[in-house]
Structure 1
Amino acid sequence: MNFHELNCLSSARNFSPMGHEIAGDEAERLISKQIKSAANGLSFIYNGKRVPRSDSTGRYEIDIILLTRQHLYVLEVKNYSGSLSKVGSNWVQTRRNGEQVEHEDNLHKNQLKLEALNYYLKDFKIPDGYIQQRVLFYKDLMLSPEISRDSRVVTHEQIKSFIPKVSIFKRVEDQFFAALIHFLVSEEEKQSARESVMTKRINSEVCRNIGDKIGILRTWDEICLKGGRIIRGDAYSLYIEGKEYELRNLEASTGFSCKWTRNKLFGFIKSLRGKPLGFVTSKHRKHELTPSKDKIKIHRVGRPNPEYIYLREVEWFCKG
């Protein structure tokens, strides 16, 4: 009998999903459907892809990549509020309460991401002007003329007319993003009307091959915590049964699930019988879990150092 392990499992915290995570998967499915409809069927969308820098010093994370035969868009989405102006080489945001925040020039930074993606796709001999960038301001903020006049900037005002009065999307953010797609496709149609489409579009096979190449780019690794919250970052190692298992070289979209006996009565009975309270299962393996010892090491996005998370608080892990 080992009631210490049962107590450890019972102490696992509950992590509710953050507000922006709720209904995200369903929204992405609906948005993808909207894109295919707007772009005449041949289009691809990718979120959070991490493209290698051309100097091999790391990776850039791209918010959204939208691929059609007409263009490949590198999209950066910002939710600044208040006003935004260019001061020297940076952008300065003045919030509604008067607080000022300095940001890196988003157009410059997104251009670096564009160049890295262009280098990554160099084998396709992509024509000039095919890869374009846009910085989207999700909220209705006041922009200085120097920023607003840039054709690579997309404002809330430009997108607003593409938001339908009745939408299949529940969240305002998803309605806005779907409207952004329709706006970009509308801009392509206007350009096609002015210029020869045949000289601008790439053929369908090349478009699909580019899509396949982008598709294999890694995203962040994901861990689903007890309660449904998703955390993202680079997962390093898994520690179970006193052994370390390397996670960095796993294939994309592989991972494992943690199956815990969280019901206290069933857990009590298992403890009486000396049975394990949990298992970790992957495609080919199954290991017993110890709530007080087994853990995963991850470097979360935006945090300075890696950390350990006990598997008693984990539901599943997926490699990006």
Structure 2
Amino acid sequence: MNSFGERIMSLSIRWKWWRARRQSFPHDEIHRAGDLAETRLAMLSRAAGRKNGWKIYESVRIPDPEGGRREIDMVIIGGNTMLVVEQKHWAGSFVITKDHHFIQNRNNGTQHNHDGVADRIARKADLLTALHNKRLGLTGQDKLDYRVIVAMTHQRLEWPKIPGNLKAEMVNEAGFIKLLESTKPGELNPDLVETLDGFNTWDEVHLNGGLLLKGDVFGLGLGKDVDEWFAERDTDVEASLIQKRSWFSLFSNNPTEVHLSRGSKNIEAKVPYGLSLNMHVVGEKRRREVDWATIERIFVSKPPAVWAVHEPPNKEQDS
């Protein structure tokens, strides 16, 4: 290709790169409302449970013997007691059928069947408890004591009569906070802390404009040295980016910069055109590439402990 052709291609690439940096991905309002409600409940729980020694874990992901992994909204531990919590932030009203299916009646007139909300979280609690007991070889009275809770946190929700044989306790936000404030579980069991510390949570990729992608990040795609640094992690990895978007940045050779941190170790790098990280997004069948030019920041959870390793992502089912 002659020099004129190379110049045209270069301008074309610069234009495409600049457009990618300026692209905005707005929030998914439905999922964002749920995320904000979960964050709020976790903050309230920490404040309410601090005096009595409750320890809070958010978005705990556990392996499932039937394949894949399962997410628990919140796990709270104190003494040798564990609270396994599913949060729902529904408005409107709901009913519980004889099969324990939760039917939500939304304020806009629509209806949604959430199936066995209590049954699902009870199963997750059983899996988590069995894993802890097996890891430590606990039997009989030494086994972990646990409670299964569904917290309905929206202030404008009409409640039905709750079946007595439901597999979970049903509480509103005030009732849940009161539970933490009024229950003294005793001195925290270090073995239980070790169990919960062994799990990881969702990786998060925040795009320009606010859209959040949750899932698993498998590679940063920033070159061999950075990928090796990333693979050796034993703690969380965070990255923040500077994206130059002005007209002048159209002619910049380094318009995207990234700052990576892993504990006390930090890396700063220029991100060339066309690089992307590789991840599996929750709810999608296959991994995808995410262009670094579209990213604002990322959070990658620490790897799980050896005994808490999940199934390979191409076989997994997240819920």
Q: State the alpha-carbon separation in 1 of the partners of residues 108 and 239 from structure 2.
A: 46
Query: Structure 2: how far apart are the matches of 1:23 and 1:94?
Result: 19
RMSD: 3.5
Tell whether 2:113 aligns with 1:102: yes
Residues 217-254 of structure 1, C-alpha deviations (whole Å, 9 max, x = no match): 11011112123443211123333469994878753411
Residue matched to 1:134: 149
Q: What is the distance in 2 between the residues matched to 1:100 and 1:28?
A: 28
Q: Is the 8 A contact 1:35 1:182 kept in 2?
A: no
Cα distance, 1:109 vs structure 2 = 1.0
In structure 2, do the counterparts of structure 1 residues 22 and 67 end up closer, same or farther at CA, with 3 Å as the change threshold?
A: closer
Instruction: Report what 1:78 is aligned to.
Output: 88
The answer to whether residue 74 in structure 2 is matched with residue 35 in structure 1 is: no
Q: Would you say 1:239 and 2:249 are equivalent positions?
A: no
Partner of 1:277: 255
Partner of 1:213: 195
Q: 1:111 aligns with which of 122, 128, 153?
A: 122
C-alpha contact 2:208 2:294 (8 A) present in aligned 1: yes
- For residue 75 of structure 2, give the secondary structure of its aligned residue in structure 1: strand
Corresponding residue to 2:278 among 297, 306, 313? 297
C-alpha separation in 2, matches of 1:261 and 1:23 = 33
SS at match of 1:305: coil
Assess, with a 3 A threshold, how the Cα gap between structure 1 residues 202 and 120 changes in structure 2: closer, same or farther. farther
**Post-superposition offset of 1:133:** 0.7
Give the structure-1-normalised TM-score.
0.71
Distance 2:296 2:16 in 1: 16
User: Which letter does structure 2 place at the counterpart of 1:183?
Assistant: L
Note the C-alpha offset of 1:52: 1.7
C-alpha contact 1:250 1:319 (8 A) present in aligned 2: no
Distance 1:181 1:243, change over 3 A: same
Per-residue deviation, residues 104-143 of structure 1 (Å, max 9, x unmatched): 3122111111111112212173745721111122242332
Distance 1:28 1:151 in 2: 23
**Identity between Structure 1 and Structure 2 (%):** 17
CA–CA distance in 2 between the matches of 1:68 and 1:136?
18
1:48 aligns with 2:44: no
Can you list the C-alpha shifts for 1:187-245, whole angstroms capped at 9, x where unaligned? x36xxxxxxxxxxx5644x2x44223312311011112123443211123333469994
Q: What's the TM-score, normalizing by structure 2?
A: 0.71
Change (3 A) 1:183 1:314: same
8 A Cα contact 1:86 1:144, kept in partner: no
Give 1:14's aligned amino acid.
S
Task: Provide the C-alpha distance between the structure 1 equivalents of 2:79 and 2:225, rounded to a whole number of angstroms.
Answer: 49
**1:31–1:112: structure 2 CA closer, same or farther, 3 Å change rule?**
closer
CA distance in structure 2 between the aligned counterparts of 1:260 and 1:66, rounded to whole angstroms: 39
Conserved? CA contact 1:257–1:280, under 8 Å: yes
Q: Shift of the alpha carbon at 1:268?
A: 4.4
Q: Could you tell me how far apart the structure 2 residues matched to 1:95 and 1:57 are? A: 33
Q: Flag structure 1 segments of 5+ consecutive residues without an equivalent.
A: 163-178, 190-200
**Kindly tell me: are residues 8 and 25 of structure 1, through their superposed partners in 2, closer, same or farther at Cα, counting changes over 3 Å?**
farther
Q: Return the offset for 1:277.
A: 2.2
Structure 1 residue 257: deviation in Å? 3.5
Secondary structure (helix, strand or coil) at the match of 1:104 reads coil
**What displacement does 1:10 show?**
2.8
Aligned residue in 2 for 1:180: 176
**Residue 313 (structure 1) aligned to one of 284, 294, 300:** 294
Taking the aligned partners of 1:66 and 1:233, their CA distance within structure 2 comes to: 23
Partner letter of residue 138 of structure 1?
T
> Which segment is superposed worse, 86-95 or 304-313?
86-95
Q: Is the 8 A contact 1:241 1:288 kept in 2?
A: no
Give the paired residue count.
Answer: 275
Task: Tell me the distance in 2 between the aligned counterparts of 1:97 and 1:23.
Answer: 20
